[in-house]
Amino acid sequence: MAKRPAKSASTTSSGDSVKIHDQQLHRGTGGELHQFAEDGQAVLTTSQGAPVADDQNSLRVGPRGPLLVDDFHFREKIFHFDHERIPERVVHARGYGAHGFFETYESLSDVTRADVFQRAGEKTPVFVRFSTVAGNKGSADLARDVRGFAVKMYTKEGNWDLVGNNIPVFFIQDAIKFPDLIHAAKQEPDRAFPQAQTAHDNFWDFISLTPESMNMVMWIMSDRTIPRSLRFMEGFGVHTFRFVNAEDKSTFVKFHWKPKLGLQSVAWNEAVKINGADPDFHRRDLWNAIQTGNFPEWELAVQLFDQDFADSFDFDVLDPTKIIPEEILPVRPIGRLVLDRMPDNFFAETEQVAFMTQNVPPGIDFSNDPLLQGRNFSYLDTQLKRLGGPNFTHLPINAPKCPMHNFQQDGHMAMRNPVGRANYQPNSHGEGPRESPSHGYRHFPAEEQGQKVRLRPESFADHYSQARQFYISQTGAEQRHIAMALTFELSKVERVAIRERMISHLLNIDKTLAAIVAQKLGIQKMPPAADAAMPTRQDLEPSPALSIVERGPMRFEGRKLGVLIADGVDAKLLKTVTKAVVADKAVVELIAPKVGGVTADDGSFIEAHHMIDGGPSVLFDAVVLLTSLQAMDDLVKEAAARDFVADAFQHCKYIGYDQSSLPLLEKAGIAGQLDEGTVQLSGGKDVSAFIEELGKLRVWGREPSVKLGKASPPTV
């Protein structure tokens, strides 16, 4: 049959319609031609112009099967996204890393043949990179953001990259939506701001149109996204993986990193001020801890379960927007991670380290989690772009520490090549490595069947129940912070319709929360609750493991006490405080009117770490005021000194003070509000009791009633 000739497009002006292949097209303002769908919107196409039928789901085998390589739309979309920026990472650009080791507690040979888990007490070298997600390399550490928690273990059978976050769930269920998520979260493209913030229209527009994100919304609006230290946050593998033993038996596994020093975050107002005082706060904290021998430590814990548990659990274990509560499936500690050495050069190691989820040793395998499957495709492509070619594994930070043998050769910046005549196999020269069916990597032989479809399984459809469970698992203070965070973020959204759409989702999570945020935003009429694919379950019990406060350390170890001193300070009392804090394995730093230091009441000179302007109380976990009557006239005139006290009180920190400091408390406007967290110190007994209380970290009961009085103007 003869081909029908295409009808050429006429050179009409913008706004005219033309026909090509009998299809009605419309010419845009730039002269480009668009297809239009039934609702009048332009049809989404690939870069080759092929119209897209489904941009929400990757192509897979059946609704719960693995992704397929012939999904050209997904591959093109991820390919283009991975190559958007050089040289910094598109996401997780601001990072900080350290070397250390992983020590195995016991043999896990019954569930996995991974060499790293075969011998109790064995230590494996590691490199860990922590990061923010949305900000660029120059952004501040205390942005409200998810934190990356990526661990590279240099095992005897190759590198294992456990590339996770400090939050166990994610925004989306399918990797095909990742470019859209990050585009929406990053700076708006027409104005290039806001930097490292999600408080803008694009992000909340996308989120409010993506119900699967609602569990993650609760997590990111909680204090989890403003951690006090990288040392005080959890890490998660996020996805469901597989352990596979020597008999090829599979056990599902979820990975958790538990900080030995407990969880801790900061208040939002505190985060804002820390970013101004020290935008490198997290970097400096990790650096100082390791350099002073206070090595950060985490336990690796796992949730292990079989197919029967997966089938009976209330939610789909392949859904990356869901967790398995620890009260239902307890975590099992299997080893510890210790960071004990900083990189010799930041660029060579922290900046050039390449993590890839597909880097797993024999004995660890993947599930059909569609987000994990997409990440396995994406990360290699990303490294090729960032690091210039296929030989990024030759860089020392990326190179395995076990023997390597293959026939890969040449390419950009090749540091090694095969030796000998044969650079292929099989060969009859008797040269080179050969595959090993007995020792080599074997994928778990899962049976898969189903049609090639772009389909989200029905088991992924409950978007609100775990969001509600997370919210009701928080303490009252933490719930207040979630409401405050939502209010702040949505107050920066210009389009009222987006704010109302988010309120409609919150109604499906918690009506009181929705009402508080709506009232704070000045929404006069509550919108109806958003349509839900599945109703919110009311029977899920609170999970205390989801609360930072409930999982707090109950000790001051690893924290920092800031002591404001002045000329005439009681030297004996200062020594008593310092000795008690150091005995508690914490750090004392001194703040004075001049950075040089002060002269104590016994005539000794005491050097300070900070001057008042450069050492605000937001940098410390608790504060003590040890001044003198002779210095008080000058101190009460110092705005920075008054702010030091007022901020500490507003941020619900413990405050110790001596008798001479009472005028400063009065000038800070808190003299009439002293509570159990403000303790007068006069001797060793008072100090001991005060230090013991510091393990609680905050006096959250103070927060709802904090009213800072108006300080008197300084006299000149």
Specify the pLDDT at position 320: 98
* Beta pairing partners, 42: 36
Q: Please tell me whether residues 573 and 615 are part of one structural domain.
A: yes
Q: Taking residues 595-615, what's their average pLDDT? A: 96
Q: Look at residue 208 and tell me whether its pLDDT is greater than 70.
A: yes
Q: What does residue 702 show for φ and ψ, rounded to 5 degrees?
A: -75, -30
Specify the pLDDT at position 657: 97
Specify the pLDDT at position 36: 55
Q: Please tell me whether residues 94 and 219 are part of one structural domain.
A: yes
* Position with higher pLDDT, 274 vs 711: 274
Q: Is residue 344 part of a domain?
A: yes
* CATH number of the domain within which 692 lies: 3.40.50.880
Specify the pLDDT at position 389: 85
Please, which pLDDT band fits residue 708 given cuts at 50, 70 and 90? Answer: low
Q: Look at residue 15 and tell me whether its pLDDT is greater than 90.
A: no
Give the separation between CA 214 and CA 479, rounded to whole angstroms: 16
Q: Look at 225-229, 530-534, 595-599, 703-707 and tell me which has the smallest mean pLDDT.
A: 703-707
* CATH number of the domain within which 488 lies: 1.20.1370.20
* Beta pairing partners, 155: 158
Q: Look at residue 637 and tell me whether its pLDDT is greater than 50.
A: yes
* Beta pairing partners, 678: 655
Mean pLDDT of the chain: 91
Q: Is residue 522 part of a domain?
A: yes
Q: Please tell me whether residues 107 and 38 are part of one structural domain.
A: no
Q: Please tell me whether residues 365 and 480 are part of one structural domain.
A: no
Paired tokens of 287: 């650096």
Paired tokens of 76: 């093109």
3-state SS assignment for residue 182: helix
Q: What does residue 265 show for φ and ψ, rounded to 5 degrees?
A: -130, 180
Q: Is residue 549 part of a domain?
A: no
| Active site positions, annotated | 92, 165
Please identify, among 487, 510, 541, the residue that sits at the C-terminal boundary of a domain. Answer: 541
Q: What does residue 582 show for φ and ψ, rounded to 5 degrees?
A: -65, -40
Q: Please tell me whether residues 596 and 625 are part of one structural domain.
A: yes
Specify the pLDDT at position 38: 58
User: Domain range holding 37?
Assistant: 1-43
Q: Is residue 491 part of a domain?
A: yes
Q: Taking residues 111-138, what's their average pLDDT? A: 96
Q: Look at residue 551 and tell me whether its pLDDT is greater than 70.
A: yes
Q: Number of structural domains, the chain?
A: 4
Q: Please tell me whether residues 34 and 143 are part of one structural domain.
A: no
DSSP 279-315: TTHHHHHHHHHHHTT---EEEEEEEEE-HHHHHHSSS
Q: Taking residues 524-538, what's their average pLDDT? A: 97
Q: Please tell me whether residues 140 and 226 are part of one structural domain.
A: yes
Specify the pLDDT at position 8: 38
Paired tokens of 174: 């399918």
pLDDT tens sequence across 16-75: 554 544 555 555 444 454 555 556 678 787 777 778 888 889 989 999 999 988 888 898
CA 72 to chain centre: 30
Q: Look at residue 373 and tell me whether its pLDDT is greater than 90.
A: yes
Spatial contact of 152 and 355, defined as CB atoms under 8 Å apart = yes
Per-residue 3-state assignment (H helix, E strand, C coil) for 196-227? CCCCCHHHHHHHHCCHHHHHHHHHHCCHHHCE
Specify the pLDDT at position 20: 44
Give the separation between CA 225 and CA 146, rounded to whole angstroms: 5
Q: Look at residue 9 and tell me whether its pLDDT is greater than 50.
A: no
Specify the pLDDT at position 435: 78
Specify the pLDDT at position 39: 63
Please identify, among 368, 394, 420, the residue that sits at the C-terminal boundary of a domain. Answer: 394
Residue 624: enclosing H or E segment and its boundaries?
strand 622-626
CB neighbour class for 704 (10 Å; exposed up to 12, middle 13-18, buried from 19):
exposed
Please, which pLDDT band fits residue 313 given cuts at 50, 70 and 90? Answer: very high
Please identify, among 361, 394, 427, the residue that sits at the C-terminal boundary of a domain. Answer: 394
Q: Look at residue 13 and tell me whether its pLDDT is greater than 80.
A: no
Q: Taking residues 658-672, what's their average pLDDT? A: 94
CA 225 to chain centre: 7
Q: Is residue 72 part of a domain?
A: no
Specify the long-range contacts of residues 670-678, CB closer than 8 Å, at least 24 apart.
670/645, 670/646, 670/708, 670/709, 671/709, 672/709, 673/649, 673/702, 673/705, 673/706, 673/707, 675/699, 675/701, 675/702, 677/652, 677/653, 677/702, 678/649, 678/654
Q: Is residue 420 part of a domain?
A: no
* Beta pairing partners, 34: 26
β-pair type (95-104, 123-132): antiparallel
Give the separation between CA 331 and CA 300, rounded to whole angstroms: 9
Q: Please tell me whether residues 536 and 576 are part of one structural domain.
A: no
Q: Taking residues 530-554, what's their average pLDDT? A: 96
Per cent of the chain over pLDDT 70 is 93
Q: Please tell me whether residues 134 and 30 are part of one structural domain.
A: no
Q: Is residue 633 part of a domain?
A: yes
CA 321 to chain centre: 14
Q: Taking residues 587-594, what's their average pLDDT? A: 97
Q: Look at residue 678 and tell me whether its pLDDT is greater than 80.
A: yes
Spatial contact of 500 and 528, defined as CB atoms under 8 Å apart = no
Specify the pLDDT at position 716: 28
* Beta pairing partners, 159: 154
Spatial contact of 120 and 106, defined as CB atoms under 8 Å apart = yes
Give the separation between CA 526 and CA 514, rounded to whole angstroms: 9
Give the separation between CA 537 and CA 535, rounded to whole angstroms: 6
Spatial contact of 143 and 196, defined as CB atoms under 8 Å apart = yes
Specify the pLDDT at position 412: 81
Q: Please tell me whether residues 495 and 593 are part of one structural domain.
A: no
**Helices and strands, number each (H, E), in the chain:** 18, 23
Spatial contact of 230 and 286, defined as CB atoms under 8 Å apart = yes
CA-closest candidate to residue 712, choices 680, 675, 667, 650: 667
Per-residue 3-state assignment (H helix, E strand, C coil) for 549-564? CCCCCCCCCCCEEEEE
Q: Is 248 left (phi over 0), alpha (psi -120 to 50) or beta?
A: left
Give the separation between CA 633 and CA 617, rounded to whole angstroms: 21
Q: What does residue 20 show for φ and ψ, rounded to 5 degrees?
A: -130, 130
Q: Taking residues 170-188, what's their average pLDDT? A: 96
Q: Look at residue 270 and tell me whether its pLDDT is greater than 70.
A: yes
Q: Is residue 551 part of a domain?
A: no
* CATH number of the domain within which 199 lies: 2.40.180.10
Q: Please tell me whether residues 247 and 319 are part of one structural domain.
A: yes
DSSP 411-463: STT------SS--SSS-SS--S----TTTS-----------EEE---GGG---
pLDDT tens sequence across 397-433: 999 998 888 888 888 888 888 888 888 888 888 888 8
Q: Look at residue 266 and tell me whether its pLDDT is greater than 90.
A: yes
* Position with higher pLDDT, 105 vs 8: 105
Give the separation between CA 102 and CA 321, rounded to whole angstroms: 28
Give the separation between CA 559 and CA 541, rounded to whole angstroms: 33
Amino acid, res. 229: S
3-state SS assignment for residue 117: helix
Q: Please tell me whether residues 602 and 688 are part of one structural domain.
A: yes
Q: Taking residues 675-692, what's their average pLDDT? A: 94
Q: Taking residues 468-473, what's their average pLDDT? A: 98
Q: Look at residue 312 and tell me whether its pLDDT is greater than 50.
A: yes
Check residue 653 and report its DSSP letter: -
Give the orientation angle of helix 684-693 with respect to helix 571-583, to 10 degrees. Answer: 40
Please tell me the pTM assigned to this model.
0.89
* Beta pairing partners, 298: 259, 337
Paired tokens of 471: 């919210």
* Beta pairing partners, 136: none
Amino acid, res. 655: I
Please, which pLDDT band fits residue 601 given cuts at 50, 70 and 90? Answer: very high
